[in-house]
Amino acid sequence: MDFLRTIIGPSNEDVRRLAVPVQVGSAPPITLHVMHPLLCLASRLHNLKALEAKRKGNGPMQAQWSIAIAKAYIADVMKKRGAEQAAKACRMVAEQAEYQAGPFCYVEFGLDPLEAMSTDLLEAIGGKFAAEEWPRTAERIDGKRIRWKAIAARRAERAGSRAA
């Protein structure tokens, strides 16, 4: 568990606004505010991009766990709040995969936030989201990923030729 003063990625305002209060202990209980799972994912991805120290050790593993937690969270949203809210959460994760730190984390560590959306989840959401919107989103991101990897390969090739 981390106790945070500031984070990289999501705004402090969003973190405060979306934090989940949890009562811990008794006589009297202490209230801790837990970061929203999708903001935690964003923060973990941003940490890897911005902080070289996070790229070693458990940083990539923490980001992978955040993807698994996002998957469980979205499944829970589907059960408790319905398809519209689950689709909204899927869009938030797709945005993280496509922009900001997502491309870096995909190319450098093979981290794929889109793993948070299972086939079962998409079938449960159904409608135009599953039939049209999500396939377009995934295809667009897949196309970008091919380009990102090609750019990374060219950079590595240039760096290798300079070192030789």
| pLDDT per position as a tens digit, 151-161 | 999 999 998 87
Distance of CA 35 to the CA centre of its chain: 13
Q: Under a CB-based contact definition with an 8 Å cutoff, are residues 66 and 111 in contact?
A: no
Q: What is the mean pLDDT of residues 114-136?
A: 97
Q: What is the pLDDT of residue 20?
A: 82
Q: What is the pLDDT of residue 126?
A: 97
Q: For residue 143, is pLDDT > 80?
A: yes
Which of 6-20, 47-61, 89-103, 133-147 is least confident? 6-20
Which of 9-13, 51-55, 56-60, 92-96 is least confident? 9-13
Q: What is the pLDDT of residue 22?
A: 87
Q: Could you tell me how many residues make up the chain?
A: 164
Q: For residue 1, is pLDDT > 80?
A: no
Q: Which residues of 89-112 are buried (b: 16+ CB within 10 A; e: fewer)?
A: bbebbbbbbbebbbbbbbbebebe
Question: In the beta sheet, which residues pair with residue 22?
Answer: 32
pTM of the full structure: 0.88
